[in-house]
């Protein structure tokens, strides 16, 4: 047994049973004993372009030699991030989107979106909009906001109260979403978080008409629709983003995983122009969230 504490693992049950993956090429990986596996899940949903892409490794190495890292606080930026922001916005088909990058994966992106949703309403004079709503069977990462939004019971149990004003609705019932918003009060709802296709909860496509009805209900409530595309982004559902395929017109989009295919850690949030506007206009507030 090593000292590595593995995530989503019963450490007692898996002690002495580690599978050590040592090499990958294309869709195939090998363990440290030379046994070959077909990686049909793309590791943890993120190896969209396959292992061993020399051109990616070469590009990363060249960038590390030129500038390994530099913060983007205040007026600072760097060429790769500026270029990537434009490209991600272009692929999203969200006209005029602002792109905020996070240094980690999807959990960082979801926490950023949850904070941004609440802060947006504060800035536009509706601070009572604090409720965030997720669906049963949904997975939104394991940071505080994502855990509070968890629709998989095992991911939520044992932590006590985390983020106040969080609710969960049935994954397949737009009526349950509507009645929950009515119970909370539409004027208190900040955002609804929705995976276009539920991933970790069992690869569940929404019932016919659900997504369009849910989008309409959220719009009628005046709340924000957050499309969690950490899994469905970057080509996995036949379009660059699931929100494009299903016509969701989201206010916020979270992404990670496929944006780098796991070659380096990165995530982010796409914000529609009306969400970014209070922060970008003259005299606007500073968004205190780190990359």
CATH of the domain at 197: 3.40.640.10
Q: How confident is the model at residue 142 (pLDDT cuts 50, 70, 90)?
A: very high
pLDDT at 285 over 90: no
Q: 193 lies in a domain?
A: yes
**Structural domain boundaries enclosing 135:** 74-280
**CB count in 10 Å sphere of residue 261:** 18
pLDDT at 90: 97
Name 64's Cβ contacts closer than 8 Å, sequence gap at least 6.
none
Tokens found for residue 189: 């709802």
The count of structural domains within the chain is: 1
pTM of the model: 0.95
Q: Read off the pLDDT of residues 228-242 as tens digits, 9 standing for 90 and up.
A: 999 999 999 999 999
What pLDDT score does 291 carry? 66
Does a structural domain hold residue 1? Answer: no
Q: How many residues does the chain have?
A: 291
User: Residue 1: is its pLDDT beyond 60?
Assistant: no
**What mean pLDDT comes out for the span 201-227?**
97
């Amino acid at each position: 047994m090593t000292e590595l504490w593995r995530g989503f693992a019963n450490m007692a049950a898996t002690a002495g049973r580690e599978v050590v993956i040592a090499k990958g090429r294309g869709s195939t990986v090998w363990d440290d004993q030379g046994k070959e596996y077909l990686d049909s899940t793309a590791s943890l949903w993120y190896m969209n372009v396959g292992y061993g892409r020399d051109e990616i490794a070469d590009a990363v190495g060249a960038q590390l030699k030129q500038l390994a890292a530099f913060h983007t606080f205040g007026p600072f930026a760097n060429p790769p991030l500026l270029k990537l922001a434009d490209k991600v916005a272009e692929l999203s088909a969200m006209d005029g989107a602002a792109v905020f990058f996070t240094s980690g994966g999807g959990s960082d992106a979801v926490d950023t979106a949850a904070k941004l949703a609440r802060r947006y309403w504060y800035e536009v004079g509706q601070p009572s909009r604090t409720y965030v709503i997720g669906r049963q069977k949904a997975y939104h990462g394991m940071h505080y906001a994502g855990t509070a939004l968890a629709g998989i019971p095992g991911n939520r149990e044992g932590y006590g109260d985390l983020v106040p004003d969080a609710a969960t609705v049935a994954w397949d019932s737009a009526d349950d979403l509507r009645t929950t918003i009515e119970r909370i009060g539409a004027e208190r709802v900040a955002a609804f978080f929705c995976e276009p296709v539920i991933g970790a909860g069992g690869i569940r496509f929404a019932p016919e008409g659900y997504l369009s009805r849910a989008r309409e209900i959220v719009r009628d409530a005046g709340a924000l629709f957050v499309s969690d595309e950490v899994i469905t982004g970057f080509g996995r559902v036949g379009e660059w983003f699931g929100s494009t395929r299903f016509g969701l017109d989201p206010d916020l989009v979270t992404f990670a995983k496929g944006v780098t295919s796991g070659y380096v850690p990165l995530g982010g949030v796409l914000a529609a122009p009306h969400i970014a506007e209070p922060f970008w206009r003259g005299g606007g507030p500073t968004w205190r969230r780190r990359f």
